[in-house]
Amino acid sequence: MIYEFRTYDLFPGNMPKYNSILTDSLSAGRLDHSDLFAYLYTEFGPLNQALHIWPYQNLEERLAIREKTTGITGWPPPTGDLLAGQSAEIFFPAPFNDPTITGAQGPFYEFRTYTYATGETPQVIDTWSKAIDERRKLSPFIGAWYTELGGLNKWAHLWGYSSLEERNRVRKEVVERGIWPPKDTPTARTQENKLYMPFSFSPLS
């Protein structure tokens, strides 16, 4: 399984129009061909960003579906004039992810992206696998992913919270109880944090 993370930067003031176009475009047939995991927009961090996450069995399926859906009614959506930039990354899921998670897990989603030294991803997976069950008892763990294509040594993880107050409470509790961060995890070289909220058409809501 792979996950394509597509990040679009919109010109300021265009998010309502983008929301309207995507609502129509996604309902016109694109989702008959493959599932959408999440469609989110930034609330904190770099503003005017939309993140959509698409799972595929492999790169070959991704290519086949993109070829099949290009030119169907409403797809790709006519949003080119709204976009200041686009990027796409391919991530592989951590082995302890729950691939069935969906629905109302937010509405606040914290997306954290770390980079590690070359060769440290297996150790990150190992230390997280020992600690994640206790951590996910306190707030929804949406998933963790690592790169094998594009920018390497990246580790991305997504968490759901019902409110900003819950986020603060949970983060304080896990540190005080020694639940999180996982013990013996390598020190990240870089860290980035964004807070997203879901579009009305996002399966992860």
The domain locations on the chain are 2-198
* Interstrand relation of 141-147 and 2-10 (parallel, antiparallel or unpaired): unpaired
pLDDT band at 2 (very low <50, low <70, confident <90, very high): very high
Options 2.30.40.10, 3.40.50.2300, 3.40.50.300, 3.30.70.100; CATH for 2-198 is: 3.30.70.100
**Residue 38 burial class via C-beta count within 10 angstroms: exposed 0-12, middle 13-18, buried 19 and up:** buried
Q: Is the pLDDT at 149 greater than 90, yes or no?
A: no
Residue 34 pLDDT: 97
Q: Is the pLDDT at 87 greater than 90, yes or no?
A: yes
pLDDT digits (tens, 9 = 90+) for 150-166: 899 999 999 999 999 99
Residue 9 pLDDT: 98
pLDDT digits (tens, 9 = 90+) for 21-43: 999 999 999 999 999 999 999 99
E strand segments, 11-132:
38-44, 49-56, 83-93, 108-115
pLDDT band at 182 (very low <50, low <70, confident <90, very high): very high
Q: Is the pLDDT at 148 greater than 90, yes or no?
A: no
Gyration radius of the chain over CA positions? 17
Residue 104 pLDDT: 98
Average pLDDT, the chain: 97
pLDDT digits (tens, 9 = 90+) for 52-66: 999 999 999 999 999
